[in-house]
Every structure is written in C-alpha cells, then in structure tokens.
Amino acid sequence: MDIPFVKMHGIGNDFVLLDCSAAVYDDLAYLARTLCRRRFGIGADGMLVLCHSTEADYRMRIFNADGTEAQICGNGLRCIAVYAYEHGICRKCEPTVETGAGLRHIVLQTDSDNHVLSVTVDMGTAITDPQLIPVNTVTPFINSPVENCGEKIRLTALSVGNPHGVVFVDDLYDCRFESLGPRLECHEIWPEKANIEFVKVIDRHHIAMRAWERGVGETLACGSGACAAAAAAVINSLADWPVEVQLPGGQLTIDGSSGRLLMTGPATEVFSGKAFLK
C-alpha cells in the first residue's frame, strides 16, 4: 500500500502528515508507530491527520510516535494550518479547526505570494482545576511537592487541552532531565500521564524550556507545553504577559493577557513522498 505523506515541523517538533480528506486509512495508531519510527520509517515525533469536519473548516487528529492519540498539539496545529492553506484545502486566513480538545481558532500571517509566514493559534485557557486536568489532587496543584524516588520535586499542574506538569529549575542542562522526565510523566498523580516541562525563568518576559512529551520523550519543541510553561510562570508570579519561550528548536510567543492563550510561531513543510507498507 502506497501512502502519500508530507513531512513538516514546527521549530523542530516534526510530524508525518496524512491527508485524510483525500483518502481513508485503517488503524491510524499502527501507521503512527510505523511511519514515525526513526531510521526504520520516515521518522517523526508524531503523526498529524487532516480530516473532514462538520463543526469546523477541518479536523486535526494527532498521534504520538508510540501510537497513542493526543487531544491537541500546538506545533501540530500550526503545521496542519500551513498545509491546508498552501495546498488549497482551506484558503481562509482565519480558519477554525476541530481538535480532541475542542475547536481552535487560527490566524495565518501571509506574504504577497500567499506563503504563510507565521501562525497564531488560540490555545484556549490554562486550566488548574484538578478534575479537568486531570490530576489526583483535591485542590489546585501550584508549585506543590511530589515524591519522586525519595526526593521532593515542586511542580505546577495545569491543562492546555492536555495535561502538563511544569518544573522550574536553575539550569536546564543540569536538572537530571533525562531521568526525571520519564518518571514524572508516569507519576501516580497523573491518571492519564502528562507532558513535563522543565523551565528556567530568564526575566519577566522571557523563559527557556525543555519538553518531555508523554508517549514521545524529549522533543525540540512543544507548543502546548510552551503555553503551559508560560501560564505556570505567570501563575507563580515569575513572569508577565507576553512571554517569549525559547525552546531547543526555536522560539514561540505566548500572550495570555486577554485570558486566552495565543501562541505565535512558524511551521515548515520539509518534503513529501510516498511510504510503502506491505
């Protein structure tokens, strides 16, 4: 079976994109595990699926590299919006996209040749209600300690359409990221696991972060994670809106001054091709 695909990335967070407005594929979880496998497949952090929608201009489904389906992905939303616009599927500069976390509104900034320069995504609000994140606590979990292998790590739990745990550190490369990331992702406080962000505050409008994504591991960027990190910094009185978030793959701007988290950044199509599966 030949499967047409497009490879895209949002500041290094890379995806295999399948256009299901033109074809229907069985077992998308299997396809994600197969196509995203690096060195043996195309290789990607996740798989984006563009589908028809009865509620919006189109629908995005996002599968992690391990085949699990996520509710939302900020970098993925920017990528799928660029693909839909530049491939003529939806030529609106302000489309609405259906996601597993609800409808999301997008604004495309284009040049005179109708190429997309940047994308702003309305990522909704930062949710701290434990039942809605979800996290196994009764009260909001803000800079609260969690037991982890005999030590206490302070963490802020919130949702931006998917669960996140934000840990503030002094040094992003001397914080035991590789060992703490997977343990905190699967910590018992999370009934559905969580994305973990390690964040260093630079000043009131600038932070840097590394992202450990559930079902993926470390990625060069995470859009929803950048929103969660910026919101957690403001909630903990460590930053003010807007917040520039520096990730290993590039920079995103998050502005929550209106009460909604508006994320702005680029998205790039890298190449297209056909994958052959027996």
Active site residues: 73, 222
Given 3-state DSSP classes, what are the helix, strand and coil percentages for the chain, each rounded to the nearest 5? 15, 40, 45
Considering only CA atoms, which of 88, 116, 114, 269 is closest in space to residue 106? 116
Residue with tokens 């950048």: 226
Q: How far apart are CA 99 and CA 47, in angstroms?
A: 14
Residue with tokens 């197969």: 34
Are 213 and 222 in contact by the 8 Å Cβ rule? The answer is yes
Considering only CA atoms, which of 185, 188, 251, 186 is closest in space to residue 218? 185
Considering only CA atoms, which of 151, 121, 143, 138 is closest in space to residue 224? 121
Are 67 and 49 in contact by the 8 Å Cβ rule? The answer is no
Contacts of 258 (CB under 8 A, 6+ apart): none
CA angle 43, 101, 118 (to 5 degrees): 60
